[in-house]
């Protein structure tokens, strides 16, 4: 099976976007790396919001330029989602980082997070020319921690994020 990292997916993925969202909500999963998918039940609205975020001229206040990605195969099934924030504002620097990602519950523990994060790191290096990226995970998320470490993550610190009331671990991955 061949996988692709699709940047800013369009309406051709509408049914899969809906299915991914429904599966994540049913499992009460954190929707890291999905951008605004939790609040946008209509895929067209989600795609339009991603377009705003991808353009420096239209990024909403308080947000940063970002690119939304999906990990898909030749059938169009979405296995995982990932968002790359091109720069860090204060919140991102303190908590969330450059990259957020999630894997749909039915596809976890199959290596898709590592595959997608590795592909995204190459985008960050070649397209964005970032020297390093910050990635965080919940302290209790052992699978995400292992993914980050397997991609070269170096632990920076543990922080308490007050909005969600959760402890996070912050890592840096050098792209040099």
The string of pLDDT tens digits covering residues 45-104 is 999 999 999 999 999 999 999 999 999 999 999 999 999 999 999 999 999 999 999 999
β 99-103/154-161 pair status: unpaired
Burial of residue 128 (number of CB atoms within 10 Å: 0-12, 13-18, 19+): middle
Instruction: Provide the pLDDT for residue 176.
Output: 87
pTM value is 0.94
The C-alpha atoms of residue 168 and residue 113 are separated, in whole angstroms, by 18
The C-alpha atoms of residue 95 and residue 76 are separated, in whole angstroms, by 32
27-53 mean pLDDT: 95
21-45 mean pLDDT: 95
How do residues 132-170 score in pLDDT, each as one tens digit?
999 999 999 999 999 999 999 999 999 999 998 999 999
Instruction: Provide the pLDDT for residue 1.
Output: 80
Task: Determine which helix (DSSP H) or strand (DSSP E) holds 69, and give its type and residue range.
Answer: strand 66-73
């Amino acid at each position: 099976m061949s996988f692709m990292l699709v940047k800013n997916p369009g309406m051709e993925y509408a049914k899969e976007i809906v299915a991914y969202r429904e599966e994540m909500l049913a499992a009460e999963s954190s929707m890291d790396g999905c951008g605004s998918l939790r609040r946008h039940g209509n895929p067209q609205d989600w795609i339009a919001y991603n377009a705003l975020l991808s353009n420096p001229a239209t990024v909403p206040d308080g947000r940063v330029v970002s690119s939304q990605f999906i990990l898909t195969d030749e059938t169009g099934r979405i296995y995982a989602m990932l968002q790359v924030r091109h720069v860090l504002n204060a919140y991102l620097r303190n908590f969330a980082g450059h990259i957020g990602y999630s894997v749909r519950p039915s596809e976890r523990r199959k290596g898709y997070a590592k595959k997608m994060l590795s592909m995204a790191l190459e985008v960050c290096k070649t397209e964005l020319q970032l020297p390093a990226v910050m990635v965080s995970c919940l302290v209790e998320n052992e699978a995400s921690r292992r993914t980050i470490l397997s991609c070269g993550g170096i632990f920076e610190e543990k922080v308490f994020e007050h909005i969600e009331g959760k402890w996070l671990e912050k890592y840096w991955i050098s792209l040099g």
